[in-house]
Structure 1
């Protein structure tokens, strides 16, 4: 099937509202724990293990699949979880394995480059000249130079940077925004 463009998904922020009140899981979400050993736990097991707490809403998968089907956009992971998004997150929310944008600019000692340019460059390279809608919580976080570079690379290509508040996660208005934008592309 030929797609009309890409629908890029970040995990932390849009699908995992990590900035919500720390001890109050948002309605409709389940708690998961990803441990340093790489194990993944949910339900009562999540309480028994230390590790990264992740809140995921199992209903998001069907909403995103429907949006992709209705708009002709291809779902793609654009997240620092990279391939773990397919291994852990996708099954938890009901998505199939999706293409993954690789972020090669990771230094195992220093972490991600603080200017954020690593994400903008990788997304631009992966998308090429294809239209894209991108659900992320960090489009507006002090990356002026990297963002300006991205905008120059994407000049003339339909692009929808859909900001998701990491305290609230993916909401119906984000899906509506992507749907309305997709209706405007050829």
Structure 2
């Protein structure tokens, strides 16, 4: 019984400093403001990426990646709204409208066909969509990918290599 109790206490202390993602701009389970809506494809928002900050990355983290993904897009495979890679491990916050390149990272092509952040733009009348903002802790300084790497390949690479990830899911309806 003593060993079991110590195991439970050890597990609780491991979770005391979980890898977390927070934002001053978006909140878990709440709708995003029009500031974060795309500015094309029938949408006319501000197309700014939200401010994001994270803490307690896993030991051994050498870089971060940030993704924004809509699993509810009527594509059969979701929709990638943002892929930022190779963000140095010294960066733990992105301001609203972040210039990832100026922070030492890079961005790849998203499903709008452009490189960089592309805001929410669900089809009119399609109901509520979820937008999953995820920060990935990675064991390498660079993934060795480029701006034209397909989003599915980036997603596969991140899922295979991540030491940990923290997610914030917000919503948007048009």
Per the TM superposition, whether the score is higher than 0.5 is: no
Q: TM-score, normalised by structure 2?
A: 0.30
Relative to total residues, which structure has the larger helix share, 1 or 2?
A: 1
